[in-house]
Structure 1
Amino acid sequence: MVSYRTKVAEPIRLPSRVERERALEAAGYNVFNLASADVYVDLLTDSGTGAMSDAQWAALQRGDESYAGSRSFDRLERAVADVMRFPHVVPAHQGRGAENVLYGSIVEDGDVVLNNTHFDTTRAHVTNQGADPVDCPVSGAREPDADGRFKGNFSTDRAREVVSDVGADVVSTVVLTITNNSAAGQPVSVQNTREVAQFAREIDATFVIDACRFAENAYFVKRDEPGFEDASIADIAREQLGYADAIVMSGKKDGLVNVGGFVATDDESLFDRCKHRAILYEGFPTYGGMAGRDMEALAVGVREAVTESYISGRIDQVRQLGESLAEAGVPVYEPFGGHAVYLDAASLLPHISHESFPGQALVCELYLEGAVRGVELGSFAFPDTDRPELVRLAVPRRTYGAEHFDHVVEAATAVMDRRESVSGLTLASEPPIPELRHFTAELEPVRASAPSTE
């Protein structure tokens, strides 16, 4: 397991119980509205929250901030070509900017977009284009205790049912998210990727891989998929990504940076469409939404992500947190994913109905107990879907140590011990885009009904 030596330290403090209660109430029982100073261990997301390496910090110093023809873009373009196989790159300020560029170029009003499981921003971009996002998870993907090593796979059987219902000409895009964030960070096999690529060719759809966690996915392929045990992480990643027509990437995950993303493709026509859309929404094609120094750091991070020492240490840390929670009796989704441990809120809080958001209630109780911030990925984040009631504890890369995770386990155990006293929540206000309501909506506790006087 790789280890790190700390060069910069940031002090953090555990707010008192009274402070936590006041902060949560002021935040409308939505932890997105909390100030970071009010959080002790922040597992809200692994997106852009990790620590960069000394090589990345050094690379920042050579950033070329030219508006056009930046040398820093050339380095990013070479890194993407070397590691991910695609010669054409359109940079963006982050993953959702890249989604806007790509899906705005290939998805039209009335289309259907298939995905193993759409994540929140992906679903929102698809619906924003007037299209219908349809999930195609495999059997067991939404069952926290179901067996299986590649529960993130895409069900081509389900996809063919959709095509039979709506017609192949309506399905413009097929997306494969690796790892499958909305299915508890579960990996996708290379064999499944091949099958999805073939299916997309059969119906003449654009095949996109959401590659945010491509290196983590390659680790699971090496560990669990027959025929890949002797392959390198880098070789697995290149093969798996190579089946796609295009990839969309948030550099804030397996790019190991705090900002940035891109679209990459080997299709000249698609590249041209994305490049011109990027000029409108992101910036000139050789910087997009990124500063030169950030492209430099991302170029280094993409290469670091596929090194065996880094990725094995990354996955081991998440696994150790999951095993510690499971040993304490906390219900968790198994097997553990690559970037996060997912708590099974429905099992932990069975007395709270789906309509009262058991996942969000658990998120709030973890904060109240130990100033631990996670995120709900159930009925609150994904309204009108049949997603399981999960709470994600996303682990920032190269950031926290064992003592922080011990604290998380203690907080979760304490909540579990007093679970019967936990009440559900109800919406107090929500934004107009339901796919994104969990970012800004406010809630309030469900009040117990007064006893009847009759």
Structure 2
Amino acid sequence: MSPRHPAEPWRIKMVEPLPTTSRPHRRQALEKAGYNISLLRSEDVYIDLYTDSGTNAMSDHQWAAMMIGDESYAGARSFYRLEAAVHEYYGYEHVIPTHQGRGAENILSRMLIRPGHHIPGNMYFTTTRAHQELNGGTFHDVIIDEAHDPACEHPFKGDVDLAKLERLIHDLGPDRIPYVCVAATVNMAGGQPISLANLAEVHELARRHGILVILDAARAVENAWFIKQREPGWGEHSVAAILREICARTDGAAMSAKKDSLANIGGWLAVRDPDLAESARELVVLYEGLHTYGGMTGRDMEAIAVGIAESVREENVSARIDQVAYLGRRLAEAGLPLVRPVGGHAVCIDAGAALPQVPRDQFPAQTLAAALYLDSGVRAAERGVVSAGRDPATGHNRHPQLELIRLTVPRRVYTQSHMDLVADSAVRVHEQHAHLHSGLVFLHEPETLRFFQARFAPATSDSPI
């Protein structure tokens, strides 16, 4: 009989003590942070599920590789090792390093987007849309409708609705659409994958109209695993082979190596067109650093090169997704409303369903995340109205259909016991706050990416948080 939770394919070689705190301490920390879990200090957090970006545990081989990092300003051999790894596992011809994924998004947007342009994509991501808008573009969500239904069990909720995309191209004209932005997996939908069949159709449709397809590749390895498990005809293929097939159906990619590549910092932009590559190199020198380091140290590039190879090992990606699935099962068995099916990097609780009485403009997800931290010291991430920001035309809060808190599991960091503690706390908070009628209101609201720096206060004096 197989175990309820498979054993991890690694053993612990070094430990980092975790801070334990009392409820009064956490309340004080939460108030000081303006009820924004983004502003909590790490020493006040017990289990940190805010993000899996740069928070992964690197392997002994990655740490060893860092010792041979070449810190030459120009032509560092560490860059060429990174470039070779991207060529081998992702298949793109031209690789431009950046300090992280956000740097790649900036270069891409400055290179391709002009005022009046429109960028379709399979659901927005916060920093991606911010860069698109700052360069004069407008984002359009062309994901399938099932992605906006948390309870729907569609196996590929990251798929693009081809009818929506074709209608947008017809209405706007292809000259106003520089590229289609395809995420694999889709973060804001809860880590949901796109199918290879759908991606192929997107690429063919875009190609007919002379439009590029650019991949957000941060979690493409996890997407490849879901294709292997769920898409007919791909079960016998390796994750590495499927990853190459994903990338083959795109014209370029922006990558945050802080996710799948198991590194603490770094990223890259890759394209097939040599002229675009030259434009990107010119911009990277201006905004990041020389085209052979792009804001990273040689040590970083060495760690990423090794991490790329480790990321596609079947046992590694399987253990990673199994751990997330285990947490999802614990919460589902207790009756918490979740995004289904559980995604690759996170379990997302439907805060709108968990706190139906809290008005959307009092931020149910932000409220639930604050309550979870207060209960146990677990930090989650808000992915709802606060993250969605304001409509630049009306000034009103955007109300996305998904109002979520994201329990994001870093790779190779926490044990099954940690997942059990998280589950116990989430269940307890759900039971205690099911009838909560008020949430939070802004005290300070930044204009851009407000969820990082905003400060809040309880909407009413009798709020339990």
Aligned residue in 1 for 2:394: none
Q: Measure how far apart 1:169 and its partner are.
A: 1.5
In structure 1, C-alpha distance between the alignment counterparts of 2:399 and 2:168, rounded to whole Å: 17
Matched, 1:387 2:393: no
How many residue pairs end up in the alignment? 448
Aligned residue in 1 for 2:234: 228
Aligned residue in 1 for 2:258: 252
Q: Measure how far apart 1:448 and its partner are.
A: 5.5
In structure 2, C-alpha distance between the alignment counterparts of 1:444 and 1:116, rounded to whole Å: 33
Partner of 1:380, secondary structure, is: helix
Q: Measure how far apart 1:417 and its partner are.
A: 1.3
Aligned residue in 1 for 2:429: 415
Aligned residue in 1 for 2:269: 263
Aligned residue in 1 for 2:371: 365
> Structure 1 length as normaliser, TM-score?
0.97
Aligned residue in 2 for 1:441: 454
Matched, 1:316 2:329: no
Partner of 2:268, secondary structure, is: strand
Q: What are the residue-to-residue correspondences of 1:54-453 with 2, within 5 Å?
A: 54-383=60-389, 384-420=398-434, 422=436, 423-433=438-448, 436-447=449-460
Task: Give CA-to-partner distance per residue, 1:90-121, whole Å, 9 cap, x none.
Answer: 00000001111112111111100111012000
Q: Give RMSD over aligned pairs.
A: 1.3
Matched, 1:46 2:52: yes
In structure 2, C-alpha distance between the alignment counterparts of 1:385 and 1:357, rounded to whole Å: 10
In structure 2, C-alpha distance between the alignment counterparts of 1:128 and 1:425, rounded to whole Å: 28
Task: Give CA-to-partner distance per residue, 1:340-384, whole Å, 9 cap, x none.
Answer: 000010111111111111111100000000011001111111031
Q: Measure how far apart 1:421 and its partner are.
A: 5.6
CA contact (8 A) 1:77 1:87 kept: no
CA contact (8 A) 1:49 1:258 kept: yes
Partner of 1:248, secondary structure, is: strand
Aligned residue in 1 for 2:12: 6
In structure 2, C-alpha distance between the alignment counterparts of 1:426 and 1:226, rounded to whole Å: 47
In structure 1, C-alpha distance between the alignment counterparts of 2:108 and 2:361, rounded to whole Å: 35
Partner of 1:89, secondary structure, is: strand
Q: Given residue 425 of structure 1, which amino acid in structure 2 is its aligned partner?
A: L
Q: Given residue 78 of structure 1, which amino acid in structure 2 is its aligned partner?
A: A
Structure 2 residues without counterparts, runs of 5 or longer: 1-5, 390-397
Q: Measure how far apart 1:285 and its partner are.
A: 0.4
In structure 1, C-alpha distance between the alignment counterparts of 2:405 and 2:50, rounded to whole Å: 10
Partner of 1:391, secondary structure, is: strand
Task: Give CA-to-partner distance per residue, 1:225-255, whole Å, 9 cap, x none.
Answer: 0010100101000011111111100000011
Q: Given residue 133 of structure 1, which amino acid in structure 2 is its aligned partner?
A: F
CA contact (8 A) 1:379 1:387 kept: no
Partner of 1:141, secondary structure, is: helix
Task: Give CA-to-partner distance per residue, 1:239-277, whole Å, 9 cap, x none.
Answer: 111111111000000111000000012210110010100
Matched, 1:15 2:21: yes
Task: Give CA-to-partner distance per residue, 1:175-224, whole Å, 9 cap, x none.
Answer: 10000001111001000110110121122112100100011000000000
Task: Give CA-to-partner distance per residue, 1:306-334, whole Å, 9 cap, x none.
Answer: 11111111110000010011112211111
In structure 2, C-alpha distance between the alignment counterparts of 1:341 and 1:416, rounded to whole Å: 15
Q: Measure how far apart 1:3 and its partner are.
A: 2.5
Change (3 A) 1:385 1:199: farther
> Structure 2 length as normaliser, TM-score?
0.94
CA contact (8 A) 2:369 2:405 kept: yes
Structure 1 residues without counterparts, runs of 5 or longer: 450-454
Task: Give CA-to-partner distance per residue, 1:277-296, whole Å, 9 cap, x none.
Answer: 00000000000010001000
